[in-house]
Amino acid sequence: MSGKSTIYAFLGVGLLTTLLFVVMPVIFSISLSFYRMESFVGVPEWVGLQNYVSVLSDFEFWRALASGTIYAVLSIVLQLVLGIGLALILNQSFVGRGLVRGVSILPYLLPTVIVVLTFKWMVDGSVGIITELLDSFGLPDVRWFETPSAAMMSNVLVSVWMWTPFVTTCFLAGLQTVPDSLYEAARVDGTNAWQRFIHVTLPMLKPILTVVILLRGIWMFNKFDVIWLMTKGGPLGSTENLAVMSYRRAFAQFDVGGGAAVATLSFLILSFAIFLYFRAFPLETD
């Protein structure tokens, strides 16, 4: 095989795969949102924009958008604060640092299912370890899943535990690229640790933070498994986000077109948010 044909063969595979796994599903999904389909085997019936009209006039859509946004923002902010804090600590030198660094990543490795099941076991009403611990301190029982705000906080708590290591690892890698001389110079100028963090560390790590916030934002906004496994969107739909709503419509209420419409709208909203984000924080390209 000549040089050119190898490259062309590779490129052909690339184009075909991209079409098959990326372009086609999305086009198909968007086109489904213009049809009424009551099951996945039924014959679709063209209804134009009717699915969108019905979704957008549905109170549940706006509630899901709001509670999904609250969930995403809360868990991203907490992941960032905790992740940066941990990275700053793990960047100091102390006995056993290597071990602590390794162990601190473990939550990120675990499947969501395991984390949620273990959390539910730990807060189990009769014999959960956290329940017993709160009891022994004489604290009142926490109803983890029964009120809308408690359920939301439980979802956020589990998400922060699982995904903070991503922020920690990226920030820690960035910290190691900041030259010591910058800190020395700042120290000579009589700054304290907090001022050095604000005026040296943060500006140096801004490119990394921009990407980390973007990636975490996309994934927390699209999150399905945590919410579905923890609360199924309840109580009374209060923790349902757009991903859960889209799933419920397509697979529980057999409204495939409606589910596709919710997924499409969710994608449009996210794209718009990312567009605004890039306007505010342009990526530095090399």
Partner 1 sequence: MPKSTVKKFLLSLVGLAIVVYSAFPIYWMVVSSVRPPESLLSEVSLIPSVFTLEYYRNLLELTDYPKHFANSVIVAGSTVVITMILAVMIAYAVARYRVRGKKAIVVAMLYAYMFPPLLVAIPLYALFIKIGLGDSLISLVAAHLTLTLPLGVWFLWGFFRNLPFQIEEAAMVDGCTRLGAFIRVVLPLSVPGLITVAVFSFLLSWTDYTFAVIMISSDVNKTIPVGLASMIGSFDLRWGEVMAGSTLIAAPLLIVFTFLSKYFIQGLGAGAVKG
According to CB under 8 A, which residues from 46 to 85 bind partner 1? Answer: none
CB-CB contact of 209 with 137 (8 Å)? no
CB-CB contact of 168 with 83 (8 Å)? yes
Site string for partner 1, 20-39 (x = CB under 8 A): -xxxxxx-xx--x-------
User: Which residues are within 8 A (CB) of 147 and not within 5 positions of it... i.e. 6 or more apart?
Assistant: 235
Q: Which is nearer to partner 1, 23 or 149 (CB)?
A: 23
Please select the residue that binds partner 1; options are 59, 94, 194, 275, rule is CB under 8 A. Answer: 94
Taking the C-alpha atoms of residue 81 and residue 101, their distance in angstroms, rounded to an integer, is 17
**Residue 67 has which token pair?**
């509670």
Give the shortest CB-62-to-partner 1 separation in angstroms: 17
Q: Which is nearer to partner 1, 195 or 271 (CB)?
A: 271
Please select the residue that binds partner 1; options are 55, 74, 115, 230, rule is CB under 8 A. Answer: 115
CB-CB contact of 175 with 209 (8 Å)? no
CB-CB contact of 236 with 148 (8 Å)? yes
Place of tokens 């991903």: 243
Q: Which is nearer to partner 1, 149 or 209 (CB)?
A: 209
Give the shortest CB-14-to-partner 1 separation in angstroms: 4
Residues 200-239 interacting with partner 1 (rule: CB under 8 A):
211, 215-216, 218-219, 222, 224-225, 228-229
Q: Which is nearer to partner 1, 21 or 149 (CB)?
A: 21
Q: How far is CA 43 from CA 37, 49, 257, in A?
A: 7, 18, 12
Please select the residue that binds partner 1; options are 55, 123, 205, 263, rule is CB under 8 A. Answer: 263
Establish if 118 lies at the interface with partner 1 (CB under 8 A).
yes
